[in-house]
Structure 1
Amino acid sequence: MADAVEEVLQSSWGEDLAEALDSVGGDQDAEKDGIIQVQNLPPPQRAKLWMIALNVAGKGDSLSSWDGALDLPEQTLIHNRSQQLIDQLGLPAEEGRDLVGDVEAVITFYCKSRNVTFTAELCWPNLLKPLLGLQLARSDLYNCFYAIMNKYIPRDCVAKGRPFHLYRLLLQYHEPELCSFLDTKKITPDSYAMNWLGSLFSSHCLPEVTQALWHIYFQQADPFLIFFLMLIILVNAKDMILSQEGDSKEELISELMV
């Protein structure tokens, strides 16, 4: 990981993540011939690899027990967020309508089956964005989404939650000067890293970029790797952050969230 940190200091943060993940993966020559060489794979083959990595290959249709009713109190919000997601992809109208239905159904059933409420702050639609390019059946789309939520998204991924406390401890250990600076500004990790953690960076990257990152990330199968990737982002931005001592808390948070 130390070598990855040195590499990321010389590029943008999107490239930082890719390079950091590559460095964790091991023998690069072997990787080129192995399953993590994903760039040229057609969607069906990539989908199979992801479903194996997420341990949902061959899993049944979890949606079969659902009556399909879209009747949650927050249904309008779910529909609008689903539509916004598909609009970002710039798809043909007919294909877009079908995918809006898939996204809305996945989120709605997840809320109903887990007895949770969807709110505007949640990044769930962004988690579905990289999955949509795999041309999955709705049942497989749900199974992959559920597996990612269950394994990789911390359950307490809320403001002041335990994952952000853990992240601050890592920052304090590896970068005490930077941690002290942010503490002085009263900038807590949840104020800038909520979407990083809640979407596994999919809210900040193009779908094809996220797919490349996730492909290696799922192969590592380490849910704690996300914390070190977030740490790398701050390491890369350390000089910029410390140079803006005169900026307000809000201005610094805006810079970090970009």
Structure 2
Amino acid sequence: MRSLVEMYLDVEAATFTFPDVLEKILKFDLPPEHLFNVFFAFTTKYIPKETKESAQIYDLFRLLLQYHDPQISSHLDSLKYSPYCYASLWFSTILAGSVDDGVCKALWELYIEKGDPFLIFYMALVLVINARDQLLQVGLEHRESLGLRN
């Protein structure tokens, strides 16, 4: 592992900021000669360069969510939950920090197969839309606790 990180830091002239990604890759039992290539591909091609709060990826994600599910997008906005609040870990780790190893491996195999760096947007949409009912309840429960009606 140390040699992998050192090689990455030499090639990228960067500081190490991807421990979740590296941890998942090491669990996949890849041959040592493939470890660096997979890690390098994920950290340079698939993980967005900017994941700080003001990054444009969150504006793009909000637009995609507005298009695919305007109600949940509006609901999250009304609760003042920006995409950064709920999706930053998804984008910055390509879901490594949010899903178990088996799911992560399946999703990453899809990433490698498709070679599409924008796939994370659609995966994030699936996560939000699949949790739609629970997310809509969040506001309802809060309103009821305040004694308000729709």
TM-score by length of 1: 0.49
Tell me how far 1:145 sits from its aligned partner: 0.7
Mapped partners of 2:132, 2:100: distance in 1: 24
User: Which structure: greater helix fraction?
Assistant: 2
Q: List runs of 5+ in structure 2 lacking aligned partners.
A: 144-150
208-217 or 169-178, which deviates more: 208-217
Mapped partners of 2:142, 2:37: distance in 1: 44
Q: List runs of 5+ in structure 1 lacking aligned partners.
A: 1-101, 249-258
Tell me, yes or no, if structure 1 residue 204 matches structure 2 residue 102: no
Tell me how far 1:112 sits from its aligned partner: 4.8
Q: Which amino acid aligns with 1:107?
A: V
Superposition RMSD on alpha carbons, in Å? 2.2
Tell me how far 1:167 sits from its aligned partner: 0.6
Q: Which amino acid aligns with 1:176?
A: P
Tell me how far 1:188 sits from its aligned partner: 0.9
Mapped partners of 2:89, 2:77: distance in 1: 20
Alignment-derived partner of residue 218 in structure 1:
112
The alignment of Structure 1 onto Structure 2 pairs a total of residues equal to 141
Alignment-derived partner of residue 244 in structure 1:
138
Tell me how far 1:230 sits from its aligned partner: 0.6
For 1:208-255, what per-residue CA distance to the aligned partner results, in whole angstroms no more than 9, with x for missing partners? Answer: 33212211221111111110111111111111111121449xxxxxxx
| Overall identity of the aligned pairs, in % | 33
- Residues 238, 217 of structure 1: alpha-carbon distance in 2 compared, 3 angstrom cutoff: same
Alignment-derived partner of residue 182 in structure 1:
76
User: Secondary structure of the equivalent of 1:244?
Assistant: helix
Mapped partners of 1:152, 1:208: distance in 2: 19
- Residues 106, 162 of structure 1: alpha-carbon distance in 2 compared, 3 angstrom cutoff: farther
Tell me how far 1:201 sits from its aligned partner: 1.4
User: Secondary structure of the equivalent of 1:243?
Assistant: helix
Mapped partners of 2:82, 2:3: distance in 1: 34
Alignment-derived partner of residue 36 in structure 2:
142
- Residues 159, 147 of structure 1: alpha-carbon distance in 2 compared, 3 angstrom cutoff: same
- Within a 5 Å distance, the mapping from 1:117-128 to structure 2 comes to 117-118=15-16, 122=17, 124-128=18-22
Alignment-derived partner of residue 110 in structure 1:
8
Mapped partners of 1:144, 1:217: distance in 2: 11
Mapped partners of 2:137, 2:102: distance in 1: 33
For 1:26-79, what per-residue CA distance to the aligned partner results, in whole angstroms no more than 9, with x for missing partners? Answer: xxxxxxxxxxxxxxxxxxxxxxxxxxxxxxxxxxxxxxxxxxxxxxxxxxxxxx
Alignment-derived partner of residue 23 in structure 1:
none
Larger Rg: 1
Question: Which of 155, 164, 171 is matched with 2:49 structurally?
Answer: 155
Question: Which of 192, 195, 206 is matched with 2:86 structurally?
Answer: 192
TM-score by length of 2: 0.81
